[in-house]
Structure 1
Amino acid sequence: MPSAITILTLFSSLSFIFYGLSCLTSKRMAIEFGRFGLTPKQRDITGILQLTGGLGLGIGYYLFTPLADFSAFGLSLLMFLGFIVRLKIKDSVIASAPALMYALLNLYLGLRFFEII
């Protein structure tokens, strides 16, 4: 049976791969980023960061832990910034919560990979 860390890592990795691709290709995501006050270029950068972070997290977990560390902390920062953007545009706490949860999840994973906790 896989460990909790394995499950959380795969969940986060697959989530970011999916959302990164969606960010780069979906009209719905283009509309959302416009609502956030962000440009198409910022949406593309976010999608690329999500996609590469998700891949780095998954690949790093199995092959090269420092890559997983870097990816987890990068995704944590990206999602914390996403949380701040949602607060800035006055989204509800419920609408903002997933960004914060992903930020905290990836912070936890990064700390575990570094064996700090």
Structure 2
Amino acid sequence: MGIIILILQVILGLFFIMTGFKIFSGEMKQEFARFGYPPIFNKITGAFEFIGGIAMLIGVFYGSLAIFASVLIGLTMLAGALSHILLGKDPVTKAMPAIVLFLLNFCVFIYYI
């Protein structure tokens, strides 16, 4: 089981470094505006994902950092899923990527606690 979690951490870490940078750069500005969020949310969410991705990679060596990363990213994904469903009035299928990413981060969290 340990090797699967390590592989998952690396994949999640790299993914969130890339998406965090993408969000931080403002590429998803319209999506955040559609939910009614102020522009600063692009920076905050991007920073959370980028920092969480780096922490997830370092968490391969330091379990407590993996816990921090999984909580930070997991809650960000949960907020994203709820934003799609509640604020964007999108179908649940549109929120599925965020829900799946939340669950994957939850698996990392459970492994380390």
Secondary structure of the residue aligned to 1:3 is helix
The alignment status of 1:77 with 2:60, answered yes or no, reads: no
The alpha-carbon deviation at position 36 of structure 1 amounts to 2.0
Match of 1:107 in 2: 106
Give the C-alpha shift of residue 22 in structure 1: 0.1
Percent identity between the two aligned chains: 32
- Unaligned stretches of 5+ residues in structure 2: none
What amino acid is aligned across from residue 32 of structure 1 in structure 2? E
TM-score normalised over the length of structure 1: 0.88
Q: Where do 4+ consecutive residues of structure 1 move more than 6 Å?
A: none
What is the CA–CA distance in structure 1 between the aligned matches of 2:11 and 2:89, rounded to whole Å? 28
Aligned Cα RMSD in Å?
1.4
Q: Tell me the matched-pair count.
A: 111
Task: Tell me the TM-score normalised to structure 2 length.
Answer: 0.91
Question: How does 1:1-117 map onto structure 2 within 5 Å?
Answer: 3-27=3-27, 29-62=28-61, 64-88=62-86, 89-114=88-113
User: What's the offset of the Cα at 1:33?
Assistant: 1.2
